[in-house]
Amino acid sequence: MKKTYEIEVDCANCASKMETAAKKTAGVKDAVVNFMTQKMIVEFEDGQDKDEVMERVLEACKKVESDCEIYL
Amino acid sequence: MIQELIIDGLLVVVIIACLILFKIASDNMTKKQKKNLKRIFIATVILLLVQTLGVKVFAYFGDNRWLRLSVYLLIYYIIGSDIVYKAYKGIKNGQVFDENFLMVVASLGALLLAIIQNGDYMEAIAVMLFYQVGEWFQSYAVGRSRKNITELMDIRPDYANIEVDGKITKVDPDEVKIGDTIIVKPGEKVPLDGIVIEGHSALDTAALTGESLPRDVKVDDEIISGCINMTGLLKIKTTKLFGESTVSKILDLVENASSRKSKSEDFIAKFARFYTPIVCYAALALAIIPPVFLYFSGNDPEVYTWIYRALSFLVASCPCALVISIPLSFFAGIGGASKEGILIKGSNFLETLSKTDTVVFDKTGTLTKGVFEVVAIHHNKKAKEELLYYAASAESASSHPISKSILKAYGKDIDTSKVKDIEEISGEGVKALVDGKVVLAGNDKLMKRFGIEYKDCHSIGTIVHIAIDEIYEGHIVIADIEKPNAKKAIEALKEAHVQKTVMLTGDKEKVANLVASDLKIDEYYSELLPQDKVSKVEALLDEEKGGKLAFVGDGINDAPVLSRADIGIAMGAMGSDAAIEAADIVLMDDDPLKIAKAIKISKKCLRIVYQNIVFSIFIKIMTLILVALGFANMWLAVFADVGVMILAVLNAIRCLFVSKL
């Protein structure tokens, strides 16, 4: 399942840092961060609770880029 | 003295710039940008006051060095607290070596040196201040250009007006079912794909295709979502769900783009990963080795000088310019292209496209319209219109593309009551009774079957011979015609330094030859089956030396070829899912000129990327050398860093402006 989230991130490099962090998060099959449209598209693994996974994604992103924001 | 004047002047410039920005641009700033601008402003004002009046004030308090220190620390706190915090978090999370870390070590180091020597704190503050100014500028410039793009790509409809029992209600486009009737008022976006059942209007398709000319629609016309209804009220019967509608597909493409990284981006990411630790250790070495060496060779070790140089070295080494500008260039290039109706699925494709030297076309649907049209009527005694009337009447019941094109050329309604005894002879044509006359319309086999003498035609295309009451009356030539821009498109490709153009077609040799020579295509291969096209493209791929091969198709039957080529370009493919899936680049309308445009955009973008890489690395290395040898101080290091970043970002933003290419 795929879901799109609005995000706020300042620089293109930080966006790719977020993408890498999100991809590595448990429960995430794939993640794409689009800097231009300020969107994060997350594909979840089957049988995962997406809200729970997104909590982890947000935490992981905050670690690599403390300024970023994901609007859950 | 001169340096102090310059510094004061700079601070005044920053203050004025802040004031102007607050006045004219505060609506365009995010909260964070506003906050940071305020911080920069306050810190600069205090700094200027301390610089100009400080000496007297401090003298009044008896030149207490701790008072002086605490004033400067306050300024440092105002301007640099968040960077220090970020660096701390980075260290805590194991991401030690980043820009924040470099800046904090350099500025805190300079501050410590100043404390020990009771010297000038200005430099330490300036490092932070100008780093922040650079960051702010970068964030603002990027934000503005991003808004620029997203506003133009803002095609997502917020609601649909659905009509149930004569009442209109606003609903989420997701809730509309196939076959529902929706109403689109002037000024609204068409939310779902469908067919017009009432009204006529002009549509603005600029957001979809980049085409600025409005398109007229009337009853029974198909309408695609994402267009803006400009003039009249339209009633539309939906044919697709929102999720399958054009607008969703496009948004999906745009939002999913650039997940695939280009080689240059990978290079920069890897570069930054190694580079930052390396410069940190180099700076450490610069602080330790020369003093130790000097000490053991019996000279004055000049410890502070070397530490100062090492700190300046750190400031100068910051890789921001590269790390920020390279991904930004690709984002901007892809954004600029999508504004022109060219959707590029990832920055790697933009990169590959720029290296294209061979473009292979599938003829039908890309260079030619892919619909058959009557191109000539060679008549005997009867008038053209009369001949066309009989042919159209005889063919009126058939759904064959040839029949359809004749009916279209005739253009009027056929009175079917006048047409009787229609007999279709498969592979040959039709026989029918029109106005009591026996009409034969078909190829030479049909004529031979009925023993009618016919004339061969020199024109290329499909020939429909017509005989009325056993008398040969002439023939109609039907052909797939070239797109109006096809010739220009091939010329434009040559201009864009494409070495070779190749045309593949399933059509007959004669037709292929005519089209290829007319359009000045270098090579063509005719009478190919779909699987032959794949092997032909593979053969051409083998011939490539260093360059890349792009294949352009309309998405019908050529999905395998699209995925086999280095770059697959699907044209006007908004209807075909397979093509969107298989292609790397999707052209939203079917104008072949866009191919050359896409190549030009990619070349411009890559040129900017290389400019930025070479320029930034060159300046970095130069300043690093100057700093290490003691020819440049921390001031110069800051300006080199911030200056290069601002220039690189401005240069990257140029990728957005591609409409004139």
Structure tokens at B376: 């000539």
Q: Domain tally for chain A?
A: 1
Looking at the structure, do residues B190 and B132 belong to the same domain, yes or no? no
Which candidate from B139, B149, B259 shows the least CB-CB separation from A36? Answer: B149
Residue B310 lies in a domain: no
The enclosing domain of B415 has a CATH number of 3.40.1110.10
Looking at the structure, do residues B239 and B91 belong to the same domain, yes or no? no
Contact yes or no for A36 and B335 at CB 8 A? yes
Q: Which helix (H) or strand (E) holds B586?
A: strand B585-587
Question: B168, B200, B199: which is closest to B182 by C-alpha?
Answer: B168
Query: Average pLDDT over chain B, rounded to whole?
Result: 85
CB pairs under 8 A between A and B: 65
Which residue of chain B has the CA closest to A13? Answer: B324
Q: What residues of B are labeled active site?
A: 362
Contact yes or no for B327 and A13 at CB 8 A? yes
Shortest Cα–Cα distance, B153 to chain A (Å): 9
pLDDT digits 0-9 by tens, B604-624: 999 999 999 999 999 999 999
Give DSSP secondary structure letters for B159-227: -EEEEETTEEEEE-GGGPPTT-EEEE-TTPBP-S-EEEEE--EEEE-HHHH---S-EEE-TT-EE-TT-
The Cα B530–Cα B534 span in angstroms is 7
Shortest Cα–Cα distance, B255 to chain A (Å): 6
Residue B384 lies in a domain: yes
Q: Give the residue from B457, B482, B507 where a domain finishes.
A: B482
Residue B289 lies in a domain: no
Residue B205 lies in a domain: yes
The Cα B550–Cα B563 span in angstroms is 10
pLDDT digits 0-9 by tens, B361-414: 988 778 888 777 888 888 777 788 888 888 888 888 877 777 888 888 888 888
The Cα B80–Cα B98 span in angstroms is 15
Which residue of chain A has the CA closest to B331? Answer: A36
Looking at the structure, do residues B365 and B375 belong to the same domain, yes or no? no
The enclosing domain of B582 has a CATH number of 3.40.50.1000
Looking at the structure, do residues B477 and B489 belong to the same domain, yes or no? no
Which candidate from A13, A19, A36 shows the least CB-CB separation from B324? Answer: A13
Distances (CA, A) of B237 to B179, B220, B606: 6, 10, 45
Contact yes or no for A36 and B323 at CB 8 A? no
The Cα A3–Cα A25 span in angstroms is 15
Shortest Cα–Cα distance, A23 to chain B (Å): 11
Looking at the structure, do residues B382 and B362 belong to the same domain, yes or no? no
The Cα B606–Cα B652 span in angstroms is 10
What's the confidence (pLDDT) of residue B567? 92
- Angle CA B321–B324–B327, to nearest 5: 130
Residue B286 lies in a domain: no
Name the one residue in this structure whose structure tokens are 């399958």.
Answer: B244
The Cα B297–Cα B293 span in angstroms is 6
Contact yes or no for A12 and B269 at CB 8 A? no
Looking at the structure, do residues B147 and B62 belong to the same domain, yes or no? yes
Which residue of chain A has the CA closest to B33? Answer: A10
Find chain B residues with C-beta within 8 A of A32's C-beta.
255-256, 258-259
Shortest Cα–Cα distance, B43 to chain A (Å): 21
Structure tokens at B100: 């924040």
Residue B19 lies in a domain: yes
Mean pLDDT of B626-635: 87
B609 touches A at CB < 8 Å: no
Q: Domain tally for chain B?
A: 4
SS3 B568: strand
Confidence of residue B232 (pLDDT cuts 50, 70, 90): confident
Q: Give the residue from B120, B138, B154 where a domain finishes.
A: B154
Q: What is the domain range of residue B541? A: 341-369+485-602
SS3 B450: coil
CB-CB contact of B435 with B419 (8 Å): no
Find chain B residues with C-beta within 8 A of A64's C-beta.
93, 95
Give me the count of residues in chain A: 72
Looking at the structure, do residues B350 and B412 belong to the same domain, yes or no? no
B248 touches A at CB < 8 Å: no
pLDDT digits 0-9 by tens, B173-224: 888 888 888 999 888 888 998 999 988 888 887 777 767 778 888 888 888 8
Enter the ipTM.
0.80
B324 touches A at CB < 8 Å: yes
Distances (CA, A) of B291 to B302, B330, B508: 6, 45, 82
Which candidate from B150, B257, B324 shows the least CB-CB separation from A12? Answer: B324
CB-CB contact of B437 with B469 (8 Å): yes
What's the confidence (pLDDT) of residue B573? 54
- Where do the H-state alpha helices sit in B226-319? 246-256, 263-296, 303-317
CB-CB contact of A14 with A65 (8 Å): yes
The values of phi and psi at residue B496, to 5°, are -85, 20
Find chain A residues with C-beta within 8 A of B255's C-beta.
4, 32, 34, 37, 39, 41
pLDDT digits 0-9 by tens, B30-62: 888 889 999 999 999 998 888 888 777 877 877
pLDDT digits 0-9 by tens, B134-153: 889 888 888 887 777 776 66
The enclosing domain of B203 has a CATH number of 2.70.150.10
Q: Give the residue from B557, B579, B602 where a domain finishes.
A: B602
Structure tokens at B153: 């790509």
What's the confidence (pLDDT) of residue B152? 61
The Cα A21–Cα A61 span in angstroms is 6
Q: What's the whole-model pTM score?
A: 0.81
Contact yes or no for A36 and B259 at CB 8 A? no
Which one-letter DSSP state was computed for residue B412? Answer: S
Q: What is the domain range of residue A62? A: 2-71
Residue B359 lies in a domain: yes
The values of phi and psi at residue B457, to 5°, are -115, 140
pLDDT digits 0-9 by tens, B240-262: 888 888 888 777 777 766 556 77
Residue B243 lies in a domain: yes
The enclosing domain of A34 has a CATH number of 3.30.70.100
The Cα B591–Cα B602 span in angstroms is 18
Burial of residue B76 (CB within 10 Å: 0-12, 13-18, 19+) is buried
